[in-house]
Amino acid sequence: MQCYKLPSRITDQLDSIHREFFWKKFTSEKGLPLVAWDKICRPKVLGGLGLRKSAAVNIACMAKLVWKILTQKDNFWVKQISAKYGAPESFFEVRPKPNDSWVWKSLLRLRPFVKRGIRWKVGNGHSINFWTDCWCADDNLQSLLNLDQSAVPDIDIKVSAFITPDKQWDSSKLSQYLPPSLIQTIQSIPLPITDVDDSFCWGYSDSGGFSTKTATWKAHENIPRDQPKWKYRWI
């Protein structure tokens, strides 16, 4: 569970064992569920008991490895992974190969999930994708504007393209892509006066550091359920 994507039949079976253990009174009796498991697995602040579904825990544990790749470049394991598959900077762009290990393939499948959790702080803008990274709001611009990928102009353009040489936002260029409300939001983001690299943090925790707890609750949102989808904010 720490590094492999478990099949859904395995995580469903684990949840079934957890439900049975939670509800049954004796080992010889089958428990009678009185409350939907989805409600029990909600955070306590939303009326649940804070229990976690196996699939969500699996996603959070693997996301922790992805975060290690992105933030701990001197780690011995990260160095080995980088030597075999490429530098951490290329993690979101590298293409999977048929002969890749199952661990690596499992981690690559988590890229959309991890990318949604990253919040960027603008420096020189060279590392931030203008459309697909979260840097000016809690979601990326492509999602905020509800654009299909085929309809996004210059999908690979970086934020640096909208910063003038004197370290100001290029309002005229922004107006070619965005509505006035978003331009105003972007212009409120301060820019460093020196050439500073972009930085990022985990946007679902107050400290900005990655935690499996917040990753688990966000992973719950991506798991199909019978009950209506519930949403919450951690920051």
Contact 49, 34 (CB under 8 A): no
Per the confidence metrics, is the pTM higher than 0.75? yes
Q: Show pLDDT as tens, one digit a residue, over the chain (235 residues).
A: 888 889 999 999 999 889 888 888 776 666 677 888 888 888 888 888 989 999 999 999 999 999 999 999 999 999 999 999 988 888 998 999 999 998 999 999 999 999 999 999 999 999 999 999 999 998 999 999 999 888 888 889 999 999 999 999 999 999 999 999 999 999 999 999 999 999 999 999 989 999 999 999 888 876 655 433 334 333 3
Q: What is d(CA 62, CA 180) in angstroms, rounded to the nearest whole number?
A: 39
Q: Where are the domains of the chain?
A: 8-113+209-220, 123-197
Nearest to 95 by CA among 83, 113, 115, 111: 111
Q: What is d(CA 24, CA 124) in angstroms, rounded to the nearest whole number?
A: 58
| The two three-digit tokens of residue 60, written as one number | 């959070």
Residue with tokens 């951690």: 234
The angle that helices 8-23 and 54-71 make with each other, rounded to 10 degrees, is 120
Which amino acid does the sequence have at 152? V
